[in-house]
Amino acid sequence: SQQGEEDPQALSIQEGENATMNCSYKTSINNLQWYRQNSGRGLVHLILIRSNEREKHSGRLRVTLDTSKKSSSLLITASRAADTASYFCATDAYNAGNMLTFGGGTRLMVKP
Amino acid sequence: GAGVSQSPSNKVTEKGKDVELRCDPISGHTALYWYRQSLGQGLEFLIYFQGNSAPDKSGLPSDRFSAERTGGSVSTLTIQRTQQEDSAVYLCASSSFQTGGYTFGSGTRLTVV
């Protein structure tokens, strides 16, 4: 079963708008990561947030983590057509070594 | 190399044949992972190698699937007697314990006809 579940499954916005994707998980974690995937091939690591962190920024990306609610959100500000991709959250569970469990992903489409 | 390399990038095989998929991780990364992804789906964990420890094979879907990692570097995922439901993109990733983030290869798209 999947540890992370993304919401929404699909999101369509206009260029320049902000995109928010949410992720919920079930068990205690060491960290939570977000990845991006273009065209169904390799994933690219975007950002890692540790369980003792609440918010992290990287360029136009902002990630929040609420361990009490077992949830995270990824915000992409001022979206661009090139941001069109699938976005996955992945959790490094507390007793799973360094192994990540991925959610089903959010398919983001940014219309020019 | 600078990234994780997978070969072949595409493989079409007949049902019942065996296939081998190769992954060359980033030099120095002690952890190596295999996942597979069916069309439009999330990633399904298959197997995890960490250093010299016994691999975590808990995700392998059947005994037709096996994987090796030789010399702590290159890994080969073998699927015997392929079935149509094995069709998917097989993704390999490596990581170092210090960073935690995975670096993925571009995957092998396997089609069983």
Give the tens place of pLDDT for each residue, A28-45.
Answer: 898 999 999 997 678 999
CB spacing of B37 vs A40 below 8 angstroms = yes
- List residues in chain B touching A: CB distance below 8 A: 4, 31, 33, 35, 37, 39, 41-43, 45, 48, 50, 56, 89, 91, 93, 95, 97, 100-107
Determine the average pLDDT of the residues in A37-58: 91
How does pLDDT run across A64-99, given as a tens digit for each residue? 999 999 999 999 999 999 999 999 999 987 666 667
The answer on pLDDT for B1 being more than 50 is yes
In chain B the first and final C-alpha atoms are separated, in Å, by: 33
| Mean pLDDT estimate for chain B | 92
- What single DSSP character describes residue A83? G
CB spacing of B56 vs A97 below 8 angstroms = yes
CB spacing of B100 vs A31 below 8 angstroms = yes
pLDDT band at residue B24 under the 50/70/90 scheme: very high
In angstroms, the separation between the Cα of residue B6 and the nearest Cα of chain A is 10
Of the candidates B42, B56, B101, which has its C-beta nearest A99's C-beta?
B56
Rg (CA), chain A: 13
- Other C-beta atoms closer than 10 Å to the C-beta of A97 total 14
In angstroms, the separation between the Cα of residue A80 and the nearest Cα of chain B is 22
Residues A67, A73, A77, A81: is their CA dihedral positive or negative? positive
CB spacing of A48 vs B100 below 8 angstroms = yes
The answer on pLDDT for B111 being more than 80 is yes
